[in-house]
A and B are shown apart, each in its own frame.
Chain A
């Protein structure tokens, strides 16, 4: 356990000045800030919306790109970055000749990539809530304070996080095996596009394909009634659906498989 904690701290120390870490912070900051500015400038047109609708309008632009593209590509990028730092510096051999258990190095790296995804999603949620509340202070005409979206938003982001874990394990393993950028990124990109197509076509086995699950997750949280209806949209989030179980099962299976590959792998 000590070896794991030391490795995890070292992962942070190594990446704290790199794009791998800062992308998880900058991405939500910039995107949420842009939406904030948009709302701020068009506050007069949005003033007549009820609080609930306003929040959904505010949170949707992020979620719409998050499910199909942003989340899978973020996972692909983070999984690649934490492994690439060792490929680039040729440090695998040094890392595995340190007096630390191999599992601790492997799992700390995986968990660090996972933490970066968690950080990014948590910041997306916090910035959405923070900027929304800020808007209601700066523009009292916008009735953000009429409705509390925190619980629903937290459930959606949690479900999105779980939906991406299968992709994380696969991409982590690919990035561990291939040192070049194109293979894991290329495979990840093609698989993500395939996932979007499968989910959009409504293929009944799409839930078995990890790269389609974030998109399926997004589709599953659509409001029960349309945005144009005068009533407040009702959203219920069922977190543990069969696609999420597939994502978790793939995540665990590929993570364990990856560990055995690392054990057997000769460090060149």
Chain B
């Protein structure tokens, strides 16, 4: 395991923000750390970077205890926490050069990073004049500068446009598949994590609700078929009589568990043949809130 925590807890005053967290991040994984705002994601990341002192529990990174091996561990981690920390009066390149100076990284690496995050053209522009997306990309370049084995990124796609999000996602996938890195990435967007993560941890109110591979998560998240039609209540009763499980009914639509595309077609045919007008039928993934409910109910 690249990151392994046991019984990790942290309090801000009387409020417990991380409760007995046991993270297991395997080597070569993209570990999606998922949770709504205020779930304790950033606090956990700060604990992993030794920015906050652990109240209870232990943190091992690269199989070494964090507190007693702080510098050797941090030298192999690149991080981006919350909004990127950038000196706005310096240019993008100067920000990287300053970090390169501290990390004793050669200057060529700075230009490589600028190319990698597509900031070479804006390298000499003051970072204060960068757009949010450019700042985020510079933050990622800063995190990657020392060629770390482990990248810890807190909501790295925040503020990025769709192209930027795709770029970051592809970059992270490439770093793991081609350069054997391990990426620990937090997000509050399930869809975002589903698209790139190999492993997922779901945190809610400081507690780990789920941890496992993305396949394990898919098994729980159970996509739904959402059918928009007239007379939803009648249709739901009809489907139930036909032995079809209905998970939700409201004025607009009927939801049932997705099994396959064929099953989706069969449901459509069944409804049409029995006089119901189907306006639309689609596969939807459960949103994060519903997933949380499912996981907590199952727990």
Contacts and interface: CB of A to CB of B under 8 A. Distances in A.
B102 A100 contact: yes
A93 B98 contact: no
A138 interface: no
Contact of A97 (B49, B53, B89): B49
Contact of A93 (B72, B75, B85): B85
Nearest to B10: A266
A6 B53 contact: no
A96 B88 CA distance: 19
B244 interface: no
A14 B104 contact: no
Nearest to A11: B98
Contacts of B50: 96-97
Interface stretch (A83-91, A173-181, A196-204, A213-221): A83-91
B219 interface: no
Given A93-B51, A267-B46, A267-B52, A9 B101 contact: yes
A214 to B, nearest CB: 31
B89 A17 contact: yes
Interface string B180-218: 000000000000000000000000000000000000000
Interface string B95-139: 001100111100000000000000000000000000000000000
A14 B87 contact: yes
B168 interface: no
Interface of B is mostly: loop
B272 interface: no
A96 to B, nearest CB: 6
29 contacts: A6-B104, A9-B101, A10-B98, A10-B102, A13-B97, A13-B98, A13-B101, A14-B87, A14-B98, A17-B89, A18-B89, A88-B88, A89-B85, A89-B88, A91-B85, A93-B82, A93-B85, A94-B81, A97-B50, A97-B51, A97-B77, A97-B79, A99-B71, A99-B75, A99-B103, A100-B71, A100-B102, A101-B71, A267-B51
Interface of A: 6-7, 9-10, 13-14, 17-18, 85, 88-91, 93-94, 96-101, 264, 266-267
